[in-house]
Amino acid sequence: MASETEALTSSAYIKHHLTNLTYGQLPDGTWGIAHGQEEIAQMGFWAIHVDTMLFSLGLGALFLFVFSRVAKNLTTGVPSGMQNFVEWIVEFVDTSVRGSFTGKNPLVAPLALTVFCWILLMNLMDLVPVDWIPLLAQSVGIPYMKVVPTTDPNATFGMALGVFWLILFYSVKMKGVGGFVGELTLQPFGKFGLPVNIFLEGVSLISKPISLALRLFGNLYAGEMIFILIAVMFSTSAVMGAFGGLLQLGWAIFHILIVLLQAFIFMTLTIVYMDMAHQEHH
């Protein structure tokens, strides 16, 4: 696709690959798929990124299917390769929870496992060659197709806000309304530092979902951008194409570390924030 879109300039190629398949209200009042940047801009807040929803929900269903199937076919004898793999992931997550969470909550370990596996699967989509799925989509009349849900801030902020809601819920549940409000207003300088306390604790609280969402989005978006820029090189010359192929291989190998690391960081911060929600300050 890179060579085909060079006629439209490299910037048009990059913009196309960074545009989501968007469903919303069109300028004529009907609802449908946007076929250009102007239509997307006019759809406003209620527009839906169909590709983000499709791939994120599909990969989430894949995670549930694989793990539930392994659980149903669990054996105490010689385990299959898939059972070994799933047990290794579960043990890894369980070790992380035991090392970072000091309270007692049966939800934390399953939450950490879901967060890690789901984000890892979404991140791994960044290793699919950038032209394959968009080109296939265009061949059947679909104008845009972004395959990495974590490069969409709507997805990362959605997950971060879900974790944030749990933080607030368990903060109130474990400490009571009075304890939670007291923590926001009396820490760290006591009753005489009320305005400063509210500011500091408010910033600390709000920064939790923002840090979760933006860190994941920023790293994966940058990785996708580099893959797209490398793909542009294939349309310039044979020498640059060969060089781009080497760069693509090297960046893909390095990007595997980023894909794993960002899933691990999101999971670890989720565990740490849940642990903070369970701690009481006296």
Looking at 100, 123, 219, 235, which residue is catalytic? 219
Catalytic status, residue 100:
no
Catalytic status, residue 215:
yes
Catalytic status, residue 211:
yes
Looking at 3, 10, 154, 215, which residue is catalytic? 215
Could you write out the DSSP letters of every residue in 205-245?
HHHHHHHHHHHHHHHHHHHHHHHHHHHHHTTT-HHHHHHHH
With the C-alpha atoms ordered 28, 30, 34, 38, is the resulting torsion angle positive or negative?
A: positive
Phi-psi map region of 211: left, alpha, beta (phi>0 left; psi -120 to 50 alpha): alpha
- Among 50, 16, 45, 55, smallest CA distance to 33 is for 50
| Alpha carbon distances (Å) from 13 to 129, 147, 152, 170 | 15, 16, 18, 46
Could you write out the DSSP letters of every residue in 149-198?
GGGSHHHHHHHHHHHHHHHHHHHHHHHHHHHHHHHHHHTTT-GGGHHHHH
Residue 241 one-letter amino acid: G
Nearest 5°: CA angle at 6, between 3 and 12?
125
| Residues known to be catalytic | 211, 215, 219
